[in-house]
Amino acid sequence: MDIELAAADVRAARAMAQWSQEELAKAAGVGVSTIADFEKGARQPIANNIEAIRRAFADRHIWFTPNGPAVFGVVFIHVMTESDGFDLIFRYMAAQAQAVQEIVATFGEIDGDHVELRMDQVVTPELRAAVDSLVTKFGPALPQLNKLKQKIGLLTDGEFFLMLPAQPTSTKDRLCFEQYLHALNHPDTEPLSGEAEDGLFARLIERYDFTSPRTDRKTVIGAGVQPRVCRYCHRTSDNTTFKKAAHVIPTALGNDHLKSAEECDDCNEYFGQHTEPSLIAMLDLQRVFLGTQGRGGNNGRPRLAFGRDSLTHDGAKVVIKAYDVAKGDDGTVEVTLGRGARQIPLAAYRALVKIAVAVIGAEHLPDLVDTIEWVRYGGHGDRPLPLVATATIDLPPNPSAQITVYTRKEQHDRLPHVVGEFRLGCYMFVFAVPFSKSDAWDLVGFFDDPEFQDTFRHYFAAAQWAQADLSGIVPANPIPRLKFVRR
């Protein structure tokens, strides 16, 4: 529980950090007058500025207790299993150092005051008992241990997991650890490394990092970062609100877990009215045939009207009500529906790029100033746009749409700085994020470029691709035509 800050606490904490008021203001990202007025009792900072001050001191290992500010130590452990990864952060005062040392020693070796954490860990009855003992002994003071016990409880005896001093910082490093862990748990199977290092993914891993946030559990981009800054309009929590749930991928596309703490209410409303409806409408048929669940009646599954015709997924099958049905002599059935929902191709493209911008690492945002202006305000409308590649690929089913963002590691004359991969079930869309300052050209034709095809080899080994022009600005109500072929 956070302790309410008093002016005396901040003055004492500054003394511990050996900071001037100017240095604290810079570290917290607030005005010097905010610090000065607070310390002399002239005014109370707003909640977001208080949180920013608190976080600035936390970065120097100074936290606030009922007895005033205190210096804490921090131990960070990243736990990696074959299906998951999570962080354990132990924050402790000097009096608790021995307890934390005992906890870490359970997973390592201790020599005097020195504890060395072992990377390779294996689940045994003895390890489970040791963790149970730690929870009993230290759980009330260090509730993170309960999370560790829960995660280990999901593993089987003899299963390996890794304990790392930090999260892997690159895709290549993460894959190396994943391959190593796979080899520990599956010693009699073929290693994963051959294909990644020497086959389809070799160039990709060398040239790009990628992020693919999970959608099967609560994931919040930018959680805990203060002050909150909107990625799209750049306003902060001082002059706008962040009260609404900002879904990175629209709920109509199955996403209820992946959200952003860096999208303000105004931008959330704008995207919900002006861009996302076109992307949803573009995927209406796919949503029905996949039975994608969003919100609302029919268990969230879409019920779509096409004039007097309709398409519905009842949870077990697709129900088609149509008046224009033609049966061929070869057993085929062709259905022509009425006009579908209104959509604007360019708005759908902007919605795809908005999703990519939501999850990309913050270090890339300075290069995407023009991109974000285009996504949010429609700027740069006179500049050409690359086509969007589409394919149907046999992928494992997933209840939510997925996003993967590839970011180029180093400058390259032909490869796009940012590539987005959007998936809804078996339907995949690959697009270049336009207008990055790190791109040397307009990316028109990027998908056919030899450098791209040599780097993203897995795309061209997996499917036949079509390319769609989503630069159109004229609203349309497409008339879907469905053809069913007897197996």
Q: Which residue, chain included where needed, has tokens 């800050």?
A: 5
205 φ/ψ angles, rounded to the nearest 5 degrees: -65, -35
Helix (H) or strand (E) holding 481: strand 481-484
Q: Which residue, chain included where needed, has tokens 């003055």?
A: 11
- DSSP assignment letter at 223: T
124 φ/ψ angles, rounded to the nearest 5 degrees: -135, 165
In this structure, the strands spanning 160-164 and 73-80 are antiparallel
Q: Which residue, chain included where needed, has tokens 């202006």?
A: 373
pLDDT tens for the chain, 487 residues: list them.
456 788 888 988 898 888 999 999 998 888 999 999 999 888 888 888 888 898 888 887 787 877 778 776 777 788 999 888 888 877 776 666 777 778 888 888 766 555 578 889 999 999 999 999 999 988 887 888 898 999 999 999 999 999 887 778 777 778 888 888 888 898 877 665 444 445 678 888 889 998 888 888 888 998 877 778 999 999 988 889 999 999 999 999 999 999 999 999 999 999 999 999 999 999 999 999 999 988 888 888 889 999 999 999 988 899 999 999 999 888 899 999 999 999 999 999 999 999 999 999 999 999 999 999 999 999 998 999 999 999 998 877 777 899 999 999 999 999 999 999 999 999 999 999 999 999 999 999 999 999 999 999 889 887 789 999 999 999 999 999 999 998 7
Amino acid at 121: Q
- Taking the C-alpha atoms of residue 422 and residue 403, their distance in angstroms, rounded to an integer, is 5
Helix (H) or strand (E) holding 12: helix 7-17
**Where do the DSSP E strands lie in 308-462?**
309-313, 318-321, 324-327, 333-336, 388-392, 402-408, 418-424, 427-432
- Taking the C-alpha atoms of residue 70 and residue 177, their distance in angstroms, rounded to an integer, is 36
25 φ/ψ angles, rounded to the nearest 5 degrees: -60, -40
Strand order in the sheet with 402-408: 208-211, 402-408, 418-424, 427-432, 388-392, 466-468
Answer yes or no: are the C-beta atoms of 228 and 486 closer than 8 Å: no
106 φ/ψ angles, rounded to the nearest 5 degrees: -60, -25
Say how many CA atoms lie within 13 Å of 152 toward its Cβ: 25
441: CB partners within 8 A, 6+ apart = 413, 414
- Taking the C-alpha atoms of residue 350 and residue 471, their distance in angstroms, rounded to an integer, is 10
DSSP-derived 3-state class of residue 53? helix
Answer yes or no: are the C-beta atoms of 257 and 219 closer than 8 Å: yes
- The number of angstroms, rounded, from the C-alpha of 197 to the middle of its chain's C-alpha atoms is 25
* Tally of CB atoms within 10 A around 34: 20
Output the CA angle 139-141-145, nearest 5 degrees: 35
- Taking the C-alpha atoms of residue 450 and residue 454, their distance in angstroms, rounded to an integer, is 6
- Taking the C-alpha atoms of residue 225 and residue 55, their distance in angstroms, rounded to an integer, is 9
Q: Which of 334, 292, 335 is nearest to 315 (CA)?
A: 292
Where do the domains of the chain lie? Answer: 7-70, 73-167, 199-487
- Taking the C-alpha atoms of residue 342 and residue 274, their distance in angstroms, rounded to an integer, is 11
Q: Which residues of 13-25 are buried (b: 16+ CB within 10 A; e: fewer)?
A: bbeebebebeebb
Q: Which residue, chain included where needed, has tokens 């994943």?
A: 178
The sign of the dihedral angle between the CA atoms of 284, 289, 290, 291 is positive
263 is written with which tokens? 């999208």
> Is CATH 1.10.260.40 the right assignment for the domain spanning 7-70?
yes
